[in-house]
Amino acid sequence: MIAHGAFGNVYIGFDSTTGQLLAIKEVRHGSEWVAKALQYENDVLEGLEHRNVVRHYGFQMAPDGSLKIILEYVPGGSLTALIERYATRKPPCGLPDSMVRFLARQIAQGLAYIHRQGILHRDIKPGNLLLTMDGEVKVSDFGCSIALWGMWSLSQCSERPPVAGSPRSPLYSHGYSAKADIWSFGSVVLEMITGRKPWSEFQPGNGRDRSAQLMYRLFSDRSARPYIPDDISMESRSFLDLCLTRDDKTRPTAEQLLDHPYLAETDVFDFALTLNETAPSPTGAPTGVVHMATTGSTRAEEDVIEDTEPQEYFQRWNDSSSSDD
């Protein structure tokens, strides 16, 4: 097993025809809406093909009712592991500036692609950004995504997927757009630069106590945003200022950010040595032979508040509060 979450585990397998290594996400579901959500996600993701987006190859229904989601295997681990490796050094630090730019450009390319396809990710964070051994970034985990042409939001962040246009839907509540992904992207870049999670001053709390602190801050100060340190380059500050503006109307698109000087010129790295210690090893992990089918993946982790755009966070708070009643 290489990962686990609320709805299942992820194993390494291989295609019996080609021998290609695959990630097999075994999903346990106990309700009809989860099964429908998985099928919807398949409809959203089966046509996506971009070097910076994890490929979704198919799914299989097991006799016990569990679903096996077939994904591209990305051996370098997540961006979280890379950030933590630098953050635990003495003294702790963020990633080198040239490395941040190199990775950030690829994330922007992946976002620009899925936005062109009419898909909003809604859960951009380091744990959902995977790395190959060559340092190629793969946007993954579309379990909270919205297809603007689809019937309903794939949201496991609340009790059930809301119908688009309903009062519980972000599309209805505040005109959710791709600009929220840009806020999350900026939060990821900030974490790469500093080695610390955004809003780290709220870290001592947990659960709703911590959420309530941040909610109060965001409601009481409409200009509030994560702290950006003074000792960073002018280009990186300019970039973060654009991504983390609270006014989503002035927040740029992913396509526009690709033209920003911070991302315009990036170096190429040999990531093999850098990622070697952080990558999950297939040695000894459960494996299986897979015959290909067609579908996508499902989200299996809790939302991370630090990276969520304020308006979207307010909606998720309201949704979860309604579910608790």
Q: Which of 43, 97, 123, 325 is catalytic?
A: 123
Please give the torsion angle defined by the CA atoms of residues 162, 166, 167 and 173, in that order, rounded to the nearest 10 degrees.
90
Residue with tokens 């025809």: 17
Is 123 labeled as catalytic in the residue annotation? yes
Residue-level pLDDT at 35: 64
In the predicted structure, residue 164 carries a pLDDT above the cut 80: no
Residue-level pLDDT at 31: 60
The per-residue pLDDT of the chain, averaged, comes to 74
In the predicted structure, residue 294 carries a pLDDT above the cut 50: no
Q: Quick one: which H or E segment has residue 82?
A: helix 79-87
Q: What is the DSSP string of 144-198?
A: T-EETTSSB----SSSSPPBTTSTT-HHHHH---THHHHHHHHHHHHHHHHSS-T
* Domain layout of the chain by residue ranges: 77-281+302-324
Of 34-48, 62-76, 93-107, give the lowest mean pLDDT range: 34-48
Architecture in CATH of 77-281+302-324: Orthogonal Bundle (1.10)
Summarize the confidence of residues 58-66 as an average pLDDT.
78
Residue-level pLDDT at 6: 58
Tokens of 294: 């067609």
